[in-house]
């Protein structure tokens, strides 16, 4: 079964859910208002990676999950082959890779020392705390022809499969978290090593045998994500109950005995029917905060991201962008995510459009910057809660068809100066690049993602009283620079007669005006040259002719 997450159903807003405005403990506020951060942000706001796609190994299917150890990214999913960047399917250098591979984060080159085959798709891959191992879970029952039922481990130094770690999980593993001694797993299984377990289990890192004292229960539905913080195992998924108690989509249990621990917030709304619900898709802990992605099924069910204190569950912020979120990656002062976002009114950013347009990779601030700009989602427990700011990073990922869900990226990871996306996309920024792609900070990127030419129209020129010629035009936008310089060129010249600077995005393009008071007598035309912070330029067509 390829399709793991249904495409989110969309429609008109389903009215206001009954929700009270809450004062949230631990919310860290920055000055209110949207951030204009990009690769060259204003002082006090975080810089994003560039929108330039870097050459990266490609796959012929889908990548569901990735983990980074040092400069190596481990990726798992459903694919049979990998090939170098710039090579079409079936071209030179294509090699067999069976649902798992590794590549260099700094070069994008496929690893030749990590070569293995899973006989079914991998759904989650994570690294041990010391980076000495990666664990993979999924639908497979064999690795390199050896029995490894739904869970396996690899040595990151040698690249070898660890034969001694061979737990027998009877069904799908979707979630993994690990200490140096214990591996916690979640999914939709009911037996591990011959003992009953209900969608959650822990096994020893040495040999995969059961940790007999850890037996929490996800009572009624699947576990999708796990994360560790101290003695707390954070559990996310579709469940409405955990250990027999009401815990909707997110809960915390003891890493020692599996007992339920306090969790104060309720970011996931309670399920109303088989078609109206929301669930956690990913969990990442960073500096004591857990960041989560969510998928909502039904009209305007929670689809965005939230941040909460890992030790208490106190909500830090919740962004209600619509368009299911599949993966999150917190780093430095930003949170990168992959989704099919189409309405970020919650953040004071782009609204829904008709026909719908999707933006499949986003970056936002780790810190809260204000309060929700939109209405509560369906059955939400929150209204006017703290939200972060959307940062100015909008690479263009083409939708894929491999899963028949018509999405783009499903996973995001990174380290240091790089962010990597994995999924089923066939192109990035219009260039062929299938399934995997990397982005880097400005210092390590080509920085060639310039102003958008398609949105830059010819200006309009009109004569004014007193011999002035007024030049009017609409701004364009840039995938990774909010502030652009607009140079007014007269009569085919290359030296500007005037310059204006304006920050804008694709959803808030502005109208600009320049009054040319120095034009000589005669007939004139004008062009607008747009320059970003990296010197990339686009120039408009010429205006109409006007006589002074």
Mean pLDDT by 10 residues, the chain (548 residues): 34 32 36 56 87 98 98 98 98 98 98 98 98 98 98 98 97 98 98 98 98 97 98 98 98 98 98 98 98 96 98 98 98 97 98 96 97 97 98 98 97 96 98 98 96 97 95 98 97 97 96 97 97 97 97
Cβ-in-10-Å burial (0-12, 13-18, 19+) of 44 comes to: exposed
Give residue for tokens 């002035």: 468
How is residue 333 written in tokens? 């002062």
The DSSP letter of residue 490 is E
Whose CA is closest to 127, among 106, 97, 102? 102
Q: What is the Cα–Cα distance from 126 to 143, expressed in whole angstroms?
A: 17
Give the integer Cα–Cα distance in Å for 26 and 15: 29
* Torsions phi, psi for 277 (to 5 deg): -165, 170
pLDDT of res. 31: 35
By the 8 A CB rule, do 193 and 208 touch? yes
pLDDT at 17: 34
Report the C-alpha gap between 115 and 98 in whole angstroms: 8
Q: Is the dihedral of CA 494, 504, 483, 425 positive or negative?
A: negative
Given the DSSP bridges, would you call strands 418-423 and 436-440 parallel, antiparallel or unpaired? antiparallel
* Cβ contacts of 180 within 8 Å, gap of 6 or more: 128, 129, 130, 205
Residue 369 vs residues 30, 327, 366, 393: alpha-carbon distances, Å = 4, 22, 9, 18
First vs last Cα of the chain: how many Å apart?
Answer: 69
Whether pTM exceeds 0.85: yes
Q: For position 41, what pLDDT does the model report? A: 80
Task: Please tell me the predicted confidence (pLDDT) of residue 42.
Answer: 80
pLDDT of residue 172: 98
Q: Could you tell me if 192 and 241 are in contact, meaning their C-beta atoms sit under 8 angstroms apart? A: no
Strands 526-531 and 62-69: unpaired
CA distance 487 to 500: 7
Residue (of 441, 450, 390) closest to 419 by Cα position: 441
CA torsion 322-323-325-329 (nearest 10°) is -80
Q: Please state whether 125 falls in left (phi above 0), alpha (psi between -120 and 50) or beta.
A: beta
Residue pLDDT, tens place only, 73-116: 999 999 999 999 999 999 999 999 999 999 999 999 999 999 99
């Amino acid at each position: 079964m390829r399709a793991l997450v249904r495409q989110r159903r969309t429609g008109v807003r389903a009215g206001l859910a009954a929700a009270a405005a809450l004062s949230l403990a631990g919310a860290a506020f920055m000055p209110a208002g949207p951030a204009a951060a990009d690769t060259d942000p204003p002082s006090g706001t975080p810089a994003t990676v560039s929108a330039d796609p870097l050459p990266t190994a490609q796959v012929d299917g889908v990548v569901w999950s990735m983990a980074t150890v040092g400069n190596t990214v481990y990726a798992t999913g459903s694919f049979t082959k990998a090939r170098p960047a710039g090579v079409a399917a079936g071209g030179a250098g294509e090699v067999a890779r069976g649902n798992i591979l590794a590549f260099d984060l700094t070069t994008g080159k496929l690893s030749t020392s990590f070569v293995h085959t899973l006989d079914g798709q991998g759904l989650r891959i994570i690294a041990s705390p010391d980076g000495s191992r990666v664990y993979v879970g999924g639908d497979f029952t064999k690795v390199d022809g050896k029995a490894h039922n739904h869970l396996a481990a690899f040595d990151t130094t040698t690249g070898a499969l660890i034969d001694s770690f061979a737990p027998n999980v009877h069904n799908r593993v979707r979630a993994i978290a690990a200490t140096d001694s214990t591996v916690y797993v979640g999914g939709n299984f009911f037996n591990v090593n011959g003992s009953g377990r209900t969608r959650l289990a822990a096994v020893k890192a040495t040999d995969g045998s059961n940790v007999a004292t850890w037996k929490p229960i996800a009572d009624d539905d699947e576990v999708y994500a796990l994360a560790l913080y101290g003695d707390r195992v954070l559990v996310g998924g579709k469940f409405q109950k955990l250990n027999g108690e009401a815990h909707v989509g997110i809960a915390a249990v003891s890493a020692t005995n599996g007992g339920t621990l306090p969790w104060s917030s309720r970011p996931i709304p309670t399920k109303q029917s088989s078609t109206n619900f929301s669930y956690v898709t990913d969990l990442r802990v960073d500096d004591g905060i857990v960041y989560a992605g969510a998928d909502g099924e039904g009209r305007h069910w929670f689809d965005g991201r939230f941040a909460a204190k890992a030790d208490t569950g106190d909500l830090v912020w919740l962004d209600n962008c619509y368009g299911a979120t599949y993966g999150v990656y917190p780093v430095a002062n930003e949170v990168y995510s992959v989704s099919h976002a189409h309405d970020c009114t919650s953040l004071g950013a782009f609204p829904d459009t008709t026909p719908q347009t999707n933006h499949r990779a986003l970056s936002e601030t780790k810190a809260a910057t204000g309060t929700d700009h939109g209405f509560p989602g369906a059955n939400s427990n929150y209204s006017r809660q703290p939200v972060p700011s959307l940062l100015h990073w909008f690479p263009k990922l083409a939708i894929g068809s491999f899963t028949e869900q018509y999405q783009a990226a499903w996973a995001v990871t990174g380290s240091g100066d790089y962010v990597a996306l994995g999924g089923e996309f066939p192109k990035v920024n219009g260039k062929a690049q299938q399934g995997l792609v990397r982005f880097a900070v400005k210092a390590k990127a080509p920085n060639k993602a310039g102003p958008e030419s398609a949105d830059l129209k010819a200006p309009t020129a009109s004569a004014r009283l007193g011999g002035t010629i007024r030049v009017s035009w609409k701004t364009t936008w840039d995938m990774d620079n909010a502030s652009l310089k607009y140079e007014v060129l007269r009569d085919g010249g290359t030296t500007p007669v005037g310059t204006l600077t304006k920050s804008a995005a694709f959803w808030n393009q502005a109208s600009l005006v320049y009054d040319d008071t120095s034009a000589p007598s005669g007939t004139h035309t004008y062009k607008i040259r747009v320059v970003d912070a990296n010197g990339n330029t686009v120039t408009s067509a010429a205006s109409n002719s006007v006589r002074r």
